[in-house]
Structure 1
Amino acid sequence: MKRQRSRLLPLLVGTVLTTGVLAGPAQASPTRHGPQPFCGQVWGSLPEAQQMSTSTAIVTDVRAGRHVCFDRLVIDLGGTADAAPSYDVRYVDRLSAPGSGDEIPLRGGATLQVLVGAPAYNDRGQPTYLPGDRREILDVASFETFRQVAWGGSFEGQTSLGIGTRARLPFRVFPLPGAPGTDQGFRLVIDVGHIW
């Protein structure tokens, strides 16, 4: 019995070493070191805000796009802004219209409220962006995360939108500067991940 063990031990050690060399280093377990971020994202679902600035931006358009890892909403800002406007983006229980406080229902499992410190009208009170359908300002039927994008309104220099999302998913917000020497102003970008 002792002789059989002594012959098996080198065989087992050799097998383990060979397997380790051929297979390479073991991958870290997601449960041991925390979950791996989806598509490299390290976003969360807590509010993101930038304080009020002296921006003179105005909302000129709202667009959306699908990406591999997230859905994107872009708010185009024109005017003579030399700084990004303030914003406040957060999940809320319900979206309310500015001024009236009326509820704006949204499809989906969660509601992401987007407030931008820029009006959707010029200094003469004329609209610079006016959606045809306030409840469905964009067609997001084929999107992975977005379920509906609704217009909240523009009131006292601030514009409100709502994004109905599939669930309370991670998001990020960032401004993009405009192109110098053109009428292309700042853009506010909101990306919402497809999964955690």
Structure 2
Amino acid sequence: MRKFKSWLAVLGLLVAFFVVAPSQAQAAPYCGITWGSLAKSAGKLSSAPITSVRAGRHACFDRLVVDINGHGGGHMVRYVATVHREGSGTAVLLRGGAFLQVTVKDPAYIVATGAQAYRPANPNELVNTAGYSALRQVALAGSFESQTTLGVGVRARLPFTVFVLNGPGNQTRLVIDVAHRW
């Protein structure tokens, strides 16, 4: 009987280790990404004009880059139900299951003259997102009173991060990385 109780005790420990323990452990974050999907903002308005918007694919995320000629202002990036055009407030139709509104606190025009500094060939398709895992569409929603809004169609509400790179020279790059999954 004593051996039977010892055997049951060992069996109990094994069950606890192999069945209970794994369910209590948290899965490792995808590619080590711990960004989250809440709004991110920083900085203030600037008169440094936007000169281009581009995108790139990486192993764990898709990247959107806004190039600014000068020391850029700030940004506000957040998920919204609908992205609205600057000035008119009309809805921007985007592909995707979720929508990021990227407000760049810099104009797409030269403030002193009003001349356009950034004139995309197709404002509804700023970059070709074919083959991207997270990004579905990037559209210009307008530039008004020294701020520019971009609408970004995303596959789903995915984690993202935002940061600013300075240089070379007095150039600034606003970078938005959207994870491929949670």
1:178 aligns with 2:167: yes
2:151 is aligned, of 152, 158, 162, to: 162
Deviation at 1:36? Answer: 1.6
1:47 maps to 39
Q: Which runs of 5+ in 2 are unaligned?
A: 15-20
CA contact (8 A) 2:54 2:126 kept: no
2:30 maps to 38
Aligned residues: 171
SS of 2:24's partner is helix
Q: Take 2:76 and 2:26, find their aligned partners in 1: how far apart are those partners?
A: 29
Aligned-residue identity in percent: 48
2:69 maps to 78
Deviation at 1:51? Answer: 3.5
Q: Take 2:148 and 2:26, find their aligned partners in 1: how far apart are those partners?
A: 38
> Looking at CA atoms only, which structure, 1 or 2, has the larger radius of gyration?
1
2:18 maps to none
Deviation at 1:67? Answer: 0.3
Deviation at 1:52? Answer: 1.5
Describe the superposition over 1:123-180 as per-residue Cα deviations: whole angstroms up to 9, x where unpaired. Answer: 211111111111111100110011111111111100000110000000000000112x
1:100 aligns with 2:88: yes
Q: Take 2:149 and 2:128, find their aligned partners in 1: how far apart are those partners?
A: 18
Q: Take 1:150 and 1:56, find their aligned partners in 2: how far apart are those partners?
A: 21
Q: Give the counterpart letter for 1:57 in structure 2.
A: A
- Runs ≥4 in structure 1, deviation > 6 angstroms? none
Deviation at 1:35? Answer: 3.2
Deviation at 1:85? Answer: 1.3
SS of 1:39's partner is helix
Report the TM-score, using the length of structure 2 for normalisation: 0.85
1:126 aligns with 2:104: no
Deviation at 1:102? Answer: 0.7
SS of 2:69's partner is strand
2:100 maps to 112
Q: Take 1:89 and 1:111, find their aligned partners in 2: how far apart are those partners?
A: 10
SS of 1:57's partner is coil
Deviation at 1:100? Answer: 0.2
Q: Take 2:100 and 2:172, find their aligned partners in 1: how far apart are those partners?
A: 21
Q: Take 2:91 and 2:27, find their aligned partners in 1: how far apart are those partners?
A: 36
Q: Give the counterpart letter for 2:39 in structure 1.
A: P
1:88 is aligned, of 76, 93, 99, to: 76
RMSD across aligned positions (CA): 2.3
Q: Take 1:166 and 1:91, find their aligned partners in 2: how far apart are those partners?
A: 12
Q: Take 1:109 and 1:174, find their aligned partners in 2: how far apart are those partners?
A: 24
Q: Give the counterpart letter for 2:119 in structure 1.
A: L
